[in-house]
Structure 1
Amino acid sequence: MELAVREAVAGDAHDVRDVHLTSIEGLAGQAYTDEQIRAWAHDRDPEQYPIDSEKTVFLVAEHDEEIVGFGWMKPNADDYFRADIDGEITAIYVHPTVARNGIGTRIYDELEARAVRAGITSLGLWASLNAVPFYQAQGYARVTDHVHEYHGETLTLVEMENRCLR
């Protein structure tokens, strides 16, 4: 599959939102209930994505000029992590029609490479239950579980860390 990974631009926000919703609805069904998925996907606004933020690296993956995945990283991790980490992978999502073709890995590899170039030595994230195997394959280890509320539904998320960046 021919794929281009590039920095996102403001005009990508609606397509990013569409991939986000479709990915949640299409890939999380074995890990969460229908009610949890609806709450998680509820009310996503294209303006919520920090595409233009100087505090993030926001990438999209394109196939045949369509956005099929995205991911973003914060070089400075937020303080809600239990692990002592430098940077944060905030999200990686892939459209379900092209999932498991290496797109998430390509996005992750580029985010990690940028983290290493920025001097970051450890990354953390909160993974949905369905994404834990993907992040384990990237070298992440489980730190702890967290319960997060989305629009009245609670979801278990897994805090993970990687101290062996490539």
Structure 2
Amino acid sequence: MVTLRPASREDMPAVASLHEASARELGRTHYDEQQVLAWSGRKDPEKYPYDEPGEHFVVAELDGEVVGFGHLAVEDGEVRAVYVSPDAARCGVGSALLAHLEATARDAGHDDCYLWASLNAVAFYRQAGWTVVESDVVETSGNGVTAELPVKLMEKEFA
């Protein structure tokens, strides 16, 4: 069973490793080799806002292992991250994280939320009731490579 809890400093190396693996493995379905290489570039465990005011950052655990993380900018109602380990994909981890972030946004008084989705995640968000608002491109750098990634702005209104 998936357990969600607030992230701690001790979780950040696992979060960074999971972030890289998720981008590398799950991004291949919609992005080319250069794009995946740039997106999956080495993530710095010190740069995740797990303890910053106004940021809600949680990890998901299965059998005591961090298998996902989620991040909500509470004031803006922006879901900034839902990442799942490739080994735990399609096991309900992402859905649990997203539902938790949505509930946190609602509890903070938001009537809706928004996010920027990678193309490989659009179907996941649509299944959870999110709609595409527009398309854009973001630049990302890593592994000595810079690339542009097409993304979708998505939103969800709460009933």
TM-score (normalizing by structure 1) = 0.90
Unaligned 5+ runs, structure 2: none
Tell me the residue number matched to 1:156: 150
1:134 aligned counterpart, secondary structure: helix
CA distance in 1: counterparts of 2:41 and 2:7, whole angstroms = 23
One-letter code aligned to 2:51: D
Q: Secondary structure at the match of 2:129?
A: coil
What residue ranges of structure 1 are gaps of 5+ in the alignment?
A: 78-86
1:82 aligns with: none
The CA RMSD over aligned residues, in Å, is 1.0
Q: Does 1:66 align with 2:56?
A: no
- Structure 1 residue ranges (4+ consecutive) displaced by more than 3 angstroms after TM superposition: none
Q: How far apart in 2 are the matches of 1:12 and 1:75? A: 21
Counterpart for residue 83 of structure 1: none
Within 2, Cα distance between the matches of 1:143 and 1:122?
A: 13
2:101 matches 1:107: no
Number of residue pairs the alignment of both structures matches: 155
Aligned AA for 1:107? L
Q: Is the CA contact 1:139–1:164 (under 8 Å) kept in the aligned structure 2?
A: no
**CA distance, structure 2, for counterparts of residue 97 and residue 44 of structure 1:** 19
Corresponding position of 1:26? 25
Could you tell me how far 1:74 is from its partner in structure 2? 0.6
Letter in 2 for 1:108: L
CA distance in 1, matches of 2:140, 2:13: 21
- Tell me, in whole angstroms, the C-alpha distance in 2 between the residues paired with 1:72 and 1:136: 19
Task: Give percent identity, aligned residues only.
Answer: 39
Aligned residue for 1:28, secondary structure, equals: helix
1:1-166 matches, cutoff 5 A: 2-77=1-76, 87-151=77-141, 152-164=146-158
- The 3-state SS of whatever aligns with 1:142 is strand
Q: Secondary structure at the match of 1:139?
A: coil
> What secondary structure does 2:43 align onto?
coil
Letter in 2 for 1:159: L
Structure richer in strand, relative to its length: 2
Q: How many angstroms apart in 2 are the aligned matches of 1:67 and 1:43?
A: 18
